[in-house]
Structures are given as structure tokens and as C-alpha cells.
């Protein structure tokens, strides 16, 4: 049984849902409370035991690379100002992990982005983390899903029930329940008009390397893009794929309203600003 050591983080999309904020700034660098989205994802990957992080980027995304790099000028200035805490934090971010970057030269879809990582992954199972999806879980999702992977030796998707009117925003599975919280996936439909269930795929996946073969023959689907969901639908005809209903909170940081909700939730539990923020919100609620 091979250990999952590598994670692919696709970060090459246009971020059109956040325009104009994302005209000159990668959406992965938008802040959630006091950290950019991508930092939550990288920290979660490390907590999940990942040894190698592969970020798929595109033109205009160099701020992501800079964020995880050393910045000697900034460190010098913080040192001069005696800002020890900030200096340590800035250094810690640069030392978080060894990150490889791949450039996706054309944005042909999520499935295509995953395919660009094939050479880095080789023939081993790996994880995919989508940076739009933020989780607050006692046990990181990948650890919960890894337990299923160990027992069933197939790809595992994080799933969760969503309201009927929300199903058209996600990849939706057709499930066959095999245990509490665990389903065999019989089909996957990306952003369906007629959903096969209310179980949506949220952005954490454990994939076997057979996904690459499937993605190579996946035709463009929803939005004219090569969809990971369609690749999964092809793969599950040859190899079982599982959906695991994870335990934990989920925040959709992929659109402005979702990002605001996530900001409120995470700011409320923030060790430094949480208490003051709660006080402020209490004051507001009487005016609303």
C-alpha cells in the first residue's frame, strides 16, 4: 500500500468571480482574515503529512511564488524596526514547505491542470486540494479520507450534502452507500441540470495515478473545459472510486459572498482579533 506524499494545488484559474479584485492579484492571494487563501491550503497540506507540494500556476500568478519565498529586504526592515514577531512569521512562511511550480500554459480546465502534474507525480497515489474550498476540521480531511483509501485502495473524494438548488454549482456523485458516511461512486456529473443525488464533491481528492490515463481521453465538458469530474466518471468504469462524507466545517471561498462568510467565521475564532471582532458584530446586529 503506497503512502500519499504529494499534493497538487491547482491555482491557474482566472478568478473571474472576484473581478475587479483579481484583475492584478491572483485569487489565491485574497486574504481570509489575516492570511491569503493559498497559505491555509499549504498549511493544511503540511498538517496532512504531505512531503511535496505542487502548485499549478499560470501567467500573472507570481505573487504566489513570492509569498512562499524569502524576502531579505523585508526581513531586514522588520529587524531594523525591532518587529521580532512579524519577522519570525515572515520567515516561517518561507520555510513552510518545499514547493514546486508548474505553469499551465493554457487554461483548459481543472482536469487539464491535474494532467500537467503527471511527471511530478509518477505512478503513485496523490492528493488534490482546491484552494477555493476551506475546511475547519479537527482531523484534516485528507487524514479522514486516507483511512478509507487504506481499506479500499481506490480514489476517494470528499463529499457533503448540499441543498437541491446548490447542486448545479458542483460535481455531483451518483452514490451507492456501503458504510456509514461512505459511498461507492457510480457516476459523477459536473454542474448537473438534473442531479443524480445531493452529494457534492468538495475540493479534496485522493487519486490513483490511473486518473492520468482517463484525463488523456476526457473530451471537453461543462464550460468547454476538460473537467476532473468527467475524468473520474471514465476512471470509475475500470476502478472503484469512493465518496467520503467528511466531518468538519466547509467554507466556499470561491465567490465574494462565500469569502465574506468564511472571513467572519475564521475571524471570530482568531486568537488575537476574535474577541474584539465578536464585540463589533454584536454592536452591529442591533442596527440591522
Here the cell at position 121 is 507525480
Segment interacting with ligand G1P (CB under 6 A) among 59-67, 199-207, 211-219, 274-282: 199-207
Element (H, E) at 111: helix 110-115
Q: Pick from 132, 142, 144, 243 the residue near ligand G1P by CB under 6 A.
A: 132
Q: Can residue 202 be called a binding residue for ligand G1P (CB under 6 A)?
A: yes
Half-sphere exposure of 129 (CA within 13 A, CB side): 29
Q: Pick from 36, 171, 221, 243 the residue near ligand G1P by CB under 6 A.
A: 171
Site string (206-245) toward ligand G1P, x via CB under 6 A: ---------------------xxx----------------
Q: Can residue 28 be called a binding residue for ligand G1P (CB under 6 A)?
A: no
Tell me the three state secondary structure of residue 18.
helix
C-alpha separations of 168 from 4, 142, 268, 278 in Å: 31, 25, 30, 34
Nearest-approach distance from CB 203 to ligand G1P, in angstroms: 5
| Crossing angle (nearest 10°) for helices 141-152 and 37-47 | 50
Q: Pick from 27, 32, 55, 133 the residue near ligand G1P by CB under 6 A.
A: 133
Segment interacting with ligand G1P (CB under 6 A) among 30-38, 63-71, 128-136, 274-282: 128-136
- 26 vs 254, beta carbon nearer ligand G1P: 254
* Spatial distance between the Cα atoms of 265 and 125, rounded to a whole number of angstroms: 33
* Spatial distance between the Cα atoms of 134 and 68, rounded to a whole number of angstroms: 19
Q: Can residue 173 be called a binding residue for ligand G1P (CB under 6 A)?
A: no
Helices (H) and strands (E) in the chain, counts: 11, 13
- 73 vs 165, beta carbon nearer ligand G1P: 165
250 in Cβ contact with 160 (< 8 Å) = yes
Residues in touch with ligand G1P (CB under 6 A): 110, 130, 132-133, 170-171, 190, 200-203, 227-229, 254
Amino acid at each position: 500500500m503506497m503512502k500519499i506524499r504529494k499534493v497538487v494545488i491547482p491555482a491557474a484559474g482566472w478568478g473571474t468571480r472576484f473581478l475587479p479584485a483579481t484583475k492584478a492579484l491572483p485569487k489565491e492571494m485574497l486574504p481570509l482574515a489575516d492570511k491569503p487563501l493559498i497559505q491555509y491550503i499549504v498549511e493544511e497540506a503540511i498538517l496532512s503529512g504531505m512531503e511535496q507540494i505542487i502548485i499549478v500556476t499560470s501567467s500573472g500568478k507570481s505573487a504566489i511564488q513570492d509569498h512562499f519565498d524569502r524576502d531579505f529586504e523585508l526581513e531586514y526592515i522588520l529587524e531594523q524596526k525591532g518587529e521580532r514577531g512579524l519577522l519570525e512569521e515572515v520567515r516561517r512562511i518561507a520555510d513552510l514547505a518545499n514547493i514546486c511550480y508548474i505553469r499551465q500554459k493554457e487554461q483548459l480546465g481543472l482536469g487539464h491542470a491535474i494532467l500537467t502534474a503527471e511527471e511530478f507525480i509518477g505512478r503513485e497515489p496523490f492528493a488534490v486540494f482546491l484552494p477555493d474550498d476551506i475546511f475547519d476540521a479537527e482531523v484534516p480531511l485528507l487524514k479522514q479520507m486516507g483511512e478509507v483509501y487504506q481499506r479500499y485502495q481506490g480514489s476517494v473524494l470528499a463529499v457533503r450534502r448540499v441543498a437541491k438548488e446548490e447542486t448545479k454549482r458542483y460535481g455531483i456523485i451518483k452514490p451507492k452507500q456501503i458504510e456509514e458516511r461512505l459511498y461507492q461512486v457510480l457516476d459523477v456529473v459536473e454542474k448537473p441540470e438534473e442531479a443524480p443525488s445531493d452529494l457534492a464533491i468538495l475540493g479534496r481528492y485522493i487519486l490513483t495515478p490511473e486518473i492520468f490515463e482517463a484525463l488523456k481521453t476526457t473530451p471537453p465538458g461543462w464550460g468547454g473545459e476538460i473537467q476532473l469530474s468527467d475524468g473520474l466518471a471514465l476512471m470509475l468504469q475500470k476502478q472503484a472510486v469512493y465518496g467520503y462524507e467528511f466531518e468538519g466545517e466547509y467554507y466556499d471561498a470561491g465567490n465574494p459572498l462565500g469569502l465574506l462568510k468564511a472571513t467572519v467565521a475564521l475571524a471570530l475564532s482568531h486568537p488575537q482579533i476574535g474577541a474584539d471582532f465578536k464585540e463589533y458584530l454584536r454592536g452591529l446586529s442591533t442596527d440591522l
